[in-house]
Homo-oligomer: A and B are copies of this chain.
Amino acid sequence: MDTRRTHGTGPDLASMARLLADGTRAGFCLALLDGRAWTATELARHVGVAPSTATEHLHALVGGNLLAEERQGRHRYVRLAGPHVAELIESLAAMAPQRAPAPRTLSAAGRRQALAHARTCYDHLAGAVGVAITDAMIERGLVDLEHGLRLTAEGTTWLGDLGITVPTGTRRPSVRSCLDWTERRPHLAGAVGAALCRHAFDTDWITRIGTTRAVAVTPTGRQALRHHLGLPDDILAPK
């Protein structure tokens, strides 16, 4: 190997970046941003490569500790190795140029619109709805961004009223700002963002649209979000 040029010391930045520098591997990671585990062939079909090609890419990604794998019978499930990977991909995506939209078909345009409206971003909510929730929480003093985003005392009790206890003492920051790549505005992530999203699924405020990252706000959810955060219905309606 050419060790002459890669002089001396420091982290091997390039080898890590190279893992994301391929369209196919990047497509895998973007898909896995939904926080769920995918099988190898699902990913292969999703980006349109042969299964053998997918295997090689997954080897690289798992070997680089970007993905975690779990074998079940004849299936190989992979998911992002952790929140830190999701955050890395998000910050990379936030400063990447948007790709040519080119939604040729009607269904593709609709799919894109559904994603822009409300979707999961790893383990929390994003899209217009995610941003609106965050804005409302700031406006009501549940979080503030005076010195970086943080949860206020009011926010803690507000979450408690919903039955969400704030995890404390963990290494993961309880609240973190995540830059949305459709809205280009920050929204609530971190442990609290994840807990809130989980709660929204559990209490049927939102449901997944098919098997995609897109979610829909249910009538129950509309009422709850109006009641708890004063969100107007027109933001929550899917069109």
Verify if A21 is at the interface (C-beta below 8 Å from B): yes
**A interface residues, how many (CB within 8 angstroms):** 69
Verify if A210 is at the interface (C-beta below 8 Å from B): no
Measured between beta carbons, the chain B residues less than 8 angstroms from A6 are 23, 27, 99
Q: Are the C-beta atoms of B93 and A5 separated by less than 8 Å?
A: no
Interface of A is mostly: mixed
Measured between beta carbons, the chain B residues less than 8 angstroms from A47 are 5, 7
What mask results when residues 1 to 40 of chain A are scored 1 for a CB within 8 Å of chain B, else 0? 0011111111111111111111111110110000000000
Question: In the assembled complex, how far is the CB of residue A192 from the closest CB belonging to chain B, in whole angstroms?
Answer: 8
The residue on B at minimum CB distance from A148 is B173
Verify if A150 is at the interface (C-beta below 8 Å from B): yes
15 contacts across the A-B interface (CB closer than 8 A): A6-B23, A8-B112, A9-B111, A9-B112, A10-B30, A11-B30, A11-B96, A12-B97, A85-B95, A146-B168, A147-B151, A148-B151, A148-B176, A148-B190, A149-B173
Give chain A interface residues in 78-111, CB to chain B under 8 Å: 84-85, 87-89, 91-103, 108, 111
Q: Are the C-beta atoms of A9 and B101 separated by less than 8 Å?
A: yes
Q: Are the C-beta atoms of A11 and B84 separated by less than 8 Å?
A: no
A145 to B29 Cα, complex, angstroms: 30
A181 to B7 Cα, complex, angstroms: 17
One of B4, B20, B24, B65 near A5 (C-beta < 8 A) = B24
Measured between beta carbons, the chain B residues less than 8 angstroms from A12 are 96-99
Verify if A175 is at the interface (C-beta below 8 Å from B): yes
